[in-house]
């Protein structure tokens, strides 16, 4: 199977053929966000390369930036599946936050729309960890870092987040860490 990005593009084509309006709009938006992240990454890479290798881009209009830029820059700036998952996680988080706000405003029409979009996005995310599974990771991180009190939370989170990234909501992880560390002090 190809990359996650390719799967999203294929699913978009399929949704277009099947006239699935909400899926089409969600996947188009997701594609646009991914494209923007790649442009951002390409810009950062080219900026880094120009500083490192002292590039001097051509000043004449007969040369395009594409001709000047290193050929591998475009390939290097493609998002990895892990980076695509980060993008999807961020988009999913925005939907969850919107659902809460729309529920407060009693806009059930918008709540339903956001829930449908969230459902579509979650198909591309790894299976989410349960609170119990997160607790196990937290315990391991606490043991590894030797954390004993709340002021050690940063060390625990730094150890923990790479292991649960994309598989657990950061605020839930933070809550579990706080719970476990506060019980250590009791």
Q: Are residues 84 and 173 in the same domain?
A: no
pLDDT tens digits, one per residue of 65-122: 545 455 577 777 888 888 899 899 899 989 999 999 999 999 999 999 999 999 999 9
Q: Using the CB atoms, write b or e for 92-113: b if 16+ within 10 Å.
A: beebeebbeebeeeeeeeebeb
pLDDT tens for residues 121-131? Answer: 999 998 888 88
What pLDDT is attached to residue 105? Answer: 95
Instruction: Tell me the pLDDT of the chain averaged across its residues.
Output: 84
Question: What is the model's pLDDT at position 22?
Answer: 95
In the predicted structure, residue 61 carries a pLDDT above the cut 60: no
* Model confidence at 62: pLDDT above 60: no
- pLDDT for the residue 49: 63
Question: Domains in the chain: how many in total?
Answer: 2
Whether the predicted pLDDT of 60 surpasses 60: no
* pLDDT tens digits, one per residue of 8-17: 999 999 999 9
Supply the pTM of this predicted model.
0.72
**Do 81 and 112 reside in the same domain of the chain?**
yes
Q: Tell me: do 42 and 112 sit in the same domain.
A: yes
Contact of 129 with 168, CB cutoff 8 Å: yes
By residue range, what is the domain housing residue 69? 4-122
Together in a domain, 99 and 17: yes
Under 8 Å between Cβ of 115 and 24: no
* 76 and 53 both lie in a single domain: yes
């Amino acid at each position: 199977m190809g990359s996650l990005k390719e799967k999203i593009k294929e699913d978009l084509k399929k949704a277009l053929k099947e006239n699935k309006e909400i899926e089409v709009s969600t996947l188009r938006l997701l594609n646009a966000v991914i494209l923007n992240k790649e442009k951002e990454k390409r810009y950062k890479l080219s900026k880094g390369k120009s500083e490192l290798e002292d590039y001097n881009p051509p000043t004449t209009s007969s040369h395009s930036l594409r001709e000047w830029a290193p050929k591998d820059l475009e390939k290097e700036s493609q998002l990895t599946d892990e980076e695509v998952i980060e993008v999807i996680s961020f988009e999913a988080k925005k939907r969850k936050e919107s659902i809460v706000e729309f529920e407060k405003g009693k806009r059930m029409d918008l709540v339903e729309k956001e829930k449908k979009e969230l459902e579509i996005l979650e198909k591309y995310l790894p299976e989410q960890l349960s609170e119990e599974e997160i607790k196990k990771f937290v315990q391991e991180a606490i043991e590894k870092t030797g954390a004993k009190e709340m002021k050690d939370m940063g060390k625990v989170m730094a150890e923990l987040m790479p292991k649960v990234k994309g598989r657990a909501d950061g605020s839930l992880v933070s809550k579990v860490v706080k719970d476990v560390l506060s019980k250590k002090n009791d």
